[in-house]
A and B are shown apart, each in its own frame.
Chain A
Amino acid sequence: MSDKTMSAEEVVGRLESGMTIGIGGWGSRRKPMALVRALLRSGITDLTVVSYGGPDVGMLAAAGRIRKLVAAFATLDSIPLEPHYRSARESGALELMEIDEAMFMWGLHAAANRLPFIPVRAGLGSDVMRVNAGLRTVTSPYEDASTGLQETVVAMPALRMDAALVHVNRADRFGNGQYLGPDPYFDDLFCEAADTAYVSCERIVDTAELTKEAAPQTLLIKRHSVTGVVEAPSGAHFTSCAPDYDRDEDFQRLYATTPWPEFAERFLHGGEKDYQSAVQTWHTLDEER
């Protein structure tokens, strides 16, 4: 078995401008923020980002890296509206494929199953059809048993991606990823729907360690769908990574209320270690206040 451990910089070194990149987690929950920060340090731009959007979308949009976004929403959860996403939209800075969150899920399923589309009862009757002129419908070849009708539904296209970035609690060196919180979100699907997938984790452990205390159902991501593994403690900060840590609400509030250039200058000027220590310093100063 091959050792897939690498640094966040090495992950970003394998990405290119113009790619379609999927980002796991949900809203402000278990986002691969260390990988997003590495992406921000690189010159990579012109991205198509596929995400159940949170601060990943906000930061990449604020930095002008997103050409097109595929999303159903962008939110910080405890702060309902993502401020940088909001200003990007209001200034017309990015192209948007706005779809329903279930349509999004089926798009991932279609891609993971190498299908061109999945028929879904969603979107029709709503303006999702108006703002996505490319969405097509498909008529069932079967008559419904009770109505006799051949139903016409939306053909949700596969959301195939060049690369997926996800963050989990534990992983081994070979790419087996484990989540220990209450929700897997869609991280396994992101990995399966992408040509390459990079998993960051709080801690890399021996394979045998994974199931010593946790149930086998926590082994969400399988190594055959993973290209690289990055050990990134606090790698989801400031989003939540239960049970390792909760969302850093104070810091998230700072992020949401600080003009982007000022925030980037103060926290994103250096590497990941610099980021984590700048956060520590801010917390210490904040407590003294």
Chain B
Amino acid sequence: MSEVRSSEVLSDVTRAEYCVIACAEAWRDNGEVLASPMGAVPSVGARLARLTFAPDLLLTDGEAMLVGPDGTVEGWLPYRQHLAMVTGGRRHVMMGASQIDRFGNQNISCIGDWERPARQLLGVRGAPVNTLNNPVSYWVPRHSTRVFVEKVDMICGVGYDSAAAAGPTVSRYHSIPRVVSNIGVFDFATPDRSMRLASLHPGVTVEEVREATGFELTVPEEVPYTRGPTGEELELIREVLDPQGLRNREVRS
């Protein structure tokens, strides 16, 4: 790992573990809502939040069951009810992004011209309905100018500028609480709702973030570091939630 300059961090905390904390923090104070993480690091983060500071969160087993952190089934949530839960708003999803732009428009459908794409990806999936109805955060395990682009090729998840342009029906429940990447945490707490650097993971510089981002990022004068895990959190991550170390395969130190 590169240099660590925060005095409070535990010396052997991996980058992936800072990412887990940054993801977990997305669900703080969310109350009794479904946490839907996509990816290994967000999954560990959601379960960590549920086990510690957000005990009211609901979780799924990735299929049709609502489960406790130890896997105990507490409910049934097949796709049809899951989609209904989205429109009811009692859910906070952390989705992936093949591309994301300055205002949080996200693309997972295709690269290039939609009519005949250079690279077909997943498809819009549920991104359009999600972004208009329940909070949507994003997780990007490899921050680069290929992902953080000036303009996405296909708007799947709706960003702040597109929501505002589409009118009050669209912006009514629209919210992108945060974007977490392997190098920092970002939000849209700016006057024009463009992306802002909210915190740096220890060991990363503002310059590195700027270089890896394909658009003008708002950077406050003082940028805090992403908080590190407490001793209890670190033990939960390593011993209980991810003993196989999947997090460290998704994000390398």
Contacts and interface: CB of A to CB of B under 8 A. Distances in A.
Contact of A99 (B121, B124, B166): B124
Given A81-B122, A125-B163, A103 B169 contact: no
Interface string B56-75: 00000001110000000000
Nearest to A99: B124
Interface stretch (A10-18, A177-185, A194-202, A256-264): A177-185
Contact of B123 (A73, A122, A151, A184): A73
A275 interface: no
Interface stretch (B7-15, B80-88, B236-244): B80-88
Contact of B155 (A81, A122, A127): A127
Nearest to B125: A73
B205 interface: no
B116 A92 contact: yes
A46 interface: no
A102 B116 CA distance: 24
Interface string A74-87: 11000011000110
Of the candidates B116, B126, B169, the one having the most CB atoms from chain A within 10 angstroms of its own CB is B169
Contacts, number: 134
A219 interface: no
A182 B87 contact: no
Interface in B101-138: 109-110, 114-129, 131-133
A124 B132 contact: yes
Given A121-B87, A127-B154, A74 B129 contact: no
A90 interface: yes
Of the candidates A90, A100, A131, A182, the one having the most CB atoms from chain B within 10 angstroms of its own CB is A100
Contacts of A121: 87, 129, 132-133, 169-170, 173
Given A90-B118, A152-B167, 5 more contacts: A123-B128, A125-B131, A125-B165, A126-B157, A184-B80
Interface of B: 63-65, 76, 78-80, 83, 86-87, 109-110, 114-129, 131-133, 154-158, 162-163, 165-170, 172-174
14 contacts: A89-B117, A89-B120, A90-B117, A102-B83, A103-B129, A123-B129, A124-B166, A126-B131, A127-B154, A127-B155, A127-B156, A130-B114, A152-B167, A186-B80
